Structure 1
Amino acid sequence: MASPSEPSIDHWSIPLTALNINVRKRLSLFLNPTNTVASDWMTIAEMMGFSYLEIKNYEKRENPTKSILDDWQARCAEANVGKFLSILEEADRKDILSELKNSIDDNCRMYLEKQKEREEPPVQVPEVDSWVSRNSESQAITIRDSPLGPSPETFDAFICYCQSDFPFVDEMIRQLEQTEYSLKLCVFDRDVLPGTCVWTITGELIERRCKRMVVVISDDYLESDACDFQTKFALSLCPGARSKRLIPVVYKPMKRPFPSILRFLTVCDYTRPCTQAWFWIRLAKALSLP
């Protein structure tokens, strides 16, 4: 329950992507064990609308709770925190609600704060305000943006990657920007001006400035909080991948399982020698679509 100083949270308006890795891990500890007394992950999956065959396949996963949460939020437009809490309530898992409610509420508040940062420009005192309008100033977030320009810089694709995968991103730049394709990629370390709020700028770029997002998948990607946020934010903009907004790319063999949150999407795979000759052509074509 919220304290008198804190406004109540409308959980039904907050997407399930707001729940971070730590909360999901703790949910898995409660729901993964097969339980003959209390409802486990299989009951939750059935209440989420998964079929019998799908649930049987999830039994093979190392972490079935994580898999059903990722897949539910990717394919269901109604996958929000309020709906999830109501499922736990209906499944009589009050132990989970009692133990994790505060952590879930904290995640929701963080999500709302990030949303507010994206919607509202930072307030500046008059003494340090320039003569340029605050709205125009908020547009200057990339190196080619100009506060006096007619429109902000836009891109064909936002590249979601972790630092260890930058050599492949560099190759992507050469293959897609410096060839006949002439695509325009948004590479955060290269194109974004320093000194701005990372979450605000990332949301602005993915939602308003870039037509698509290329997700460079690797073992290190799975450990990156920034990549996790970027991927889930982009998925929340296109439930069920209806707009073909996300394009997963695998460029080297992985030791860990492919992220289940993206398993519904067609992958551009560079690790298969028989299709490497077509890799850049397919990727360039996908990014060139309107």
Structure 2
Amino acid sequence: MATATTGSGSGSPEPGSSAPPDLEAVPLVALNFSVRRRLGLYLNPRAPVAADWTALAEELGYEYLEIKHLEAQPDPTARLLEDWQGRCPGGATVGRLLALLRALGRHDILADLGGRIEEDCKKYLQRKEQPVQVPAVDSSVRKTLEMSGITTRDDPYGNTPELFDAFICYCQKDIHFVQEMIRELEQTEFKLKLCVFDRDVLPGSCVWSITSELIERRCRKMVVVISDDYLDSNECDFQTKFALSLSPGARQKRLIPVKCKSMKNEFPSILRFITVCDYTNPCTKKWFWIRLAKSLMLP
């Protein structure tokens, strides 16, 4: 398949290879927020001379009533991409999206965003490969020091790795809410075990490798603490996308978004198709911790 750009020169080649990524193998979740917003700027306006988001929806097999429903959304392009990810996790790839834009004649979008899209895909693939570069937790091979002693209660020789009910994805400015979460979920009758990076992870190792190991192999679920500050965190962005890639379409109920504050910005588009636990709603706040705990207790 053709690459998103021709001679764009954007981004650095992957180690040991100058070949562009196979975009057909990259899920749509690899695209970051800024690229999705830019796509909306191109596709949201209804124009008779250029294919818009409705044309893309038709190519994806959406029916008239479904398109009319999406039309009421403030950002129909973003909502369309989210819905496509949910209903067709295996087929919702970056390569498929680019092929459709090319077929619709939207070469202006490919020229503007091709380089940024390819860069997002390279970063996603590099991060995705990192956990594979170390022995698995349940492997019979002797564990590396990096992956054996990464938490405070880890066996340094890797015989009994510390396991958790949930990994907590949060930014530093929301640490007070995370501390309340610890009190409500660990120190009550729920007795859940949370992985809080600042409390449980030992310093001195690669952040990306450690978080990938914890999310994929040490924690059954992940709680994403959403706020305006979360949107500016590269670490949270990576952790969220990595967890979504492990459970496309949220079929395993692995990722649980939690809105901890009122927000000025829009809720993250890639999480809108997952049911949110809203701490800011006064009408449901008394049920908040029970609902969250029960979700984390599910197998």
Q: TM-score range by the shorter chain?
A: 0.7 to 0.9
Asked if the contact 2:148–2:156 (Cα under 8 Å) also holds between the matched residues in 1, the reply is yes
- Give 1:186-225 correspondences, 5 Å limit: 186-225=195-234
Instruction: Give how far 1:266 is off.
Output: 2.5
Instruction: Give how far 1:150 is off.
Output: 1.3
Indicate the larger mover: 155-164 or 113-122.
113-122
Asked if the contact 1:248–1:265 (Cα under 8 Å) also holds between the matched residues in 2, the reply is yes
The reply on whether 1:185 has 2:198 as its aligned counterpart is no
The reply on whether 1:228 has 2:237 as its aligned counterpart is yes
Asked if the contact 2:169–2:223 (Cα under 8 Å) also holds between the matched residues in 1, the reply is yes
Distance 1:120 1:253, change over 3 A: same
Query: What is the rounded CA distance, in whole Å, between the counterparts of 1:61 and 1:67 in structure 2?
Result: 7
**Which residue is equivalent to 1:248?**
257
Distance 1:269 1:18, change over 3 A: closer
Query: What is the rounded CA distance, in whole Å, between the counterparts of 2:112 and 2:292 in structure 1?
Result: 45
Percent identity between the two aligned chains: 60
Q: Residues 59-107 of structure 1, C-alpha deviation per residue, up to 9 Å, x if partnerless?
A: 3333332232233224421111111111112212122223322222222
SS at match of 1:214: strand
Query: What is the rounded CA distance, in whole Å, between the counterparts of 1:157 and 1:134 in structure 2?
Result: 23
Asked if the contact 1:216–1:249 (Cα under 8 Å) also holds between the matched residues in 2, the reply is yes
The reply on whether 1:30 has 2:42 as its aligned counterpart is yes
Query: What is the rounded CA distance, in whole Å, between the counterparts of 1:254 and 1:212 in structure 2?
Result: 24
Letter in 1 for 2:165: D
SS at match of 1:61: coil
Indicate the larger mover: 77-86 or 222-231.
222-231
Q: Residues 90-142 of structure 1, C-alpha deviation per residue, up to 9 Å, x if partnerless?
A: 212122223322222222222222223222149xxxxxxxxx95535423222
Q: TM-score, with normalisation over the residues of structure 2?
A: 0.83
Q: Residues 2-25 of structure 1, C-alpha deviation per residue, up to 9 Å, x if partnerless?
A: 789612421111111222233223
Which of residues 271, 281, 292 in structure 2 aligns to 1:283? 292
**Which residue is equivalent to 2:160?**
151
Count of matched residue positions in the alignment of Structure 1 and Structure 2: 281
The reply on whether 1:83 has 2:96 as its aligned counterpart is yes
Query: What is the rounded CA distance, in whole Å, between the counterparts of 1:156 and 1:269 in structure 2?
Result: 20
Distance 1:95 1:278, change over 3 A: closer
Query: What is the rounded CA distance, in whole Å, between the counterparts of 1:7 and 1:31 in structure 2?
Result: 30
**Which residue is equivalent to 1:163?**
172
Letter in 2 for 1:119: V
In structure 2, runs of 5+ residues without a counterpart are: 1-5, 136-140
Letter in 2 for 1:99: D
Query: What is the rounded CA distance, in whole Å, between the counterparts of 2:260 and 2:122 in structure 1?
Result: 36
SS at match of 2:56: helix
Asked if the contact 2:149–2:157 (Cα under 8 Å) also holds between the matched residues in 1, the reply is no
Asked if the contact 2:149–2:158 (Cα under 8 Å) also holds between the matched residues in 1, the reply is no
Instruction: Give how far 1:168 is off.
Output: 1.1
Instruction: Give how far 1:171 is off.
Output: 0.5
Query: What is the rounded CA distance, in whole Å, between the counterparts of 1:275 and 1:70 in structure 2?
Result: 26
Query: What is the rounded CA distance, in whole Å, between the counterparts of 1:208 and 1:238 in structure 2?
Result: 13
The reply on whether 1:117 has 2:114 as its aligned counterpart is no
Distance 1:157 1:61, change over 3 A: same
Which of residues 1, 17, 24 in structure 2 aligns to 1:12? 24
In structure 1, runs of 5+ residues without a counterpart are: 123-131
SS at match of 1:106: helix
SS at match of 1:273: coil
Query: What is the rounded CA distance, in whole Å, between the counterparts of 1:235 and 1:116 in structure 2?
Result: 15
Asked if the contact 2:228–2:265 (Cα under 8 Å) also holds between the matched residues in 1, the reply is yes
Q: TM-score, with normalisation over the residues of structure 1?
A: 0.86
Instruction: Give how far 1:169 is off.
Output: 0.8
Distance 1:51 1:236, change over 3 A: farther
Distance 1:102 1:260, change over 3 A: closer
